[in-house]
Amino acid sequence: MTRKAFIEEVLPFSKMIYRVSFRILQDSEKARDMVQNIFCKLWDKKDKLDAVQNKEAFIMQTTKNACLDSLRTRKLTTELEQHHRITEPAYDTLESAALVRRAIADLPEKQRLIIELRDIEGMSFESMAEMLDTPVNTLRVSLSIARKKVREAVRKIYSYGT
């Protein structure tokens, strides 16, 4: 892959790489650093990128793996999640959004990743299946379960005391 092809085909994914990194790492500076690391890794593999059929899935898989490796090496997964909890805003609609974000953050790692990739990033099931190395039907079931858990968590909070 030439420098020009790399710029045209890979660099447009920078915002998506940042969003996925931020959602996994829960820290904007670490997510920005991760974007740079991902581009360095992809540049090192530029000769192999031409053979990749679904570049988006490959880039997202690389991003996910790098972020999870980063979390594992620091052994701070639970501390990061607790430290970066979203506080409830004062406005009702913002409060609802914060409750949904908190409910998503409380999901198991794989369900959280699936719901974020599908509902927030808008990724197709096929791309997700390739990225996560999971059958599409399994992803659909996991997404349904994750959505149900989020819905129940929010409903539980709103129905408290009634």
Shared domain for 45 and 93, answered yes or no, is no
Q: What is the mean pLDDT of the chain?
A: 82
Does residue 87 register a pLDDT over 80? no
Write down the pLDDT at residue 37: 92
Residue 92's pLDDT is what?
58
Q: Where are the alpha helices (DSSP H) in 1-159?
A: 3-9, 14-25, 28-44, 46-49, 55-74, 77-83, 92-105, 109-115, 125-132, 136-158
Domain boundary among 56, 84, 112: 84
* pLDDT of amino acid 27: 86
pLDDT of the residue at 48 = 87
Q: Please check whether residues 65 and 106 belong to one and the same domain.
A: no
Q: Are residues 135 and 76 in the same domain?
A: no
Q: Is the pLDDT of residue 149 over 60?
A: yes
Query: Domain with 42 in it: what CATH number?
Result: 1.10.1740
Q: What percent of the chain has pLDDT over 90?
A: 25
The CATH number covering residue 97 comes to 1.10.10.10
pLDDT digits (tens, 9 = 90+) for 34-75: 999 999 999 988 888 888 889 889 999 999 989 888 877 765
Q: Taking 70 as the threshold, does the pLDDT of residue 4 lie above it?
A: yes
**54 and 28: one domain?**
yes
> Is the model's pLDDT at 15 over the cut of 70?
yes
Range of the domain at 111: 87-162
For residue 83, count CB atoms less than 10 angstroms from its CB and return exposed for 0-12, middle for 13-18, buried for 19 or more.
Answer: exposed
Q: Which residue has the tokens 């988006």?
A: 56
Cut 0.75: pTM above it: no
What pLDDT is stored for residue 74 in this prediction? 65
